[in-house]
Amino acid sequence: MIILGLDPSLSCTGWGVIRAEGSRIAHVANGQVKTDSKAPIAARLTQLHAEIEAVIASHAPDRAAAEEIFANKNAQSTIKLAQARGAVIAACGGAGLEVREHAARLVKKAVVGTGGAEKAQVQAMLKVLLPGVQLAGADAADALAVAIADANLR
């Protein structure tokens, strides 16, 4: 089974693709979609949608997984996150993919063993679970963690 993990954000959406066969997982690809903060919101959302569509077309995942949305103290940040998430999930829906959602603490627990893990701990564990992986960045690492958690939680 090919799983696409997603870490949506308006500024930089991370994505990671893994192959899960029983309890074995293997890295397929990972990357990040960065948008120009000076571009209009519609252009940024269109870019996110199009680039995730291209990832889906390239890697043909069987399903997708994303972190559940969380509310920031800043309402504007929460709205931007929700809009980016909507564009990314719409790209998955357009491709007929089921999108599973997982709480951030559950993702960390599934990958590191504790829900309070720091980003550095998650990235270190990814290098153990996916030997030789070259991470495109922190957001791509988070997306791979979501994909691995989804594979472990199915």
- The catalytic position among 51, 139, 142, 150 is 139
- Whose tokens are 């990671």? That residue is 16
- The catalytic position among 7, 51, 142, 150 is 7
- The catalytic position among 51, 67, 142, 150 is 67
Would you list which residues are annotated within the binding site for Mg(2+)? 7, 67, 139
- Using a CB cutoff of 8 Å and minimum separation of 24, what contacts does 31-39 make? 31/55, 31/136, 31/140, 32/136, 32/137, 32/139, 32/140, 35/10, 35/11, 37/11
Would you list which residues are annotated within the binding site? 7, 67, 139
Is 36 tagged catalytic? no
Is 142 tagged catalytic? no
Say if CB 145 and CB 108 are below 8 A apart: yes
Is 67 tagged catalytic? yes
Catalytic residues: 7, 67, 139
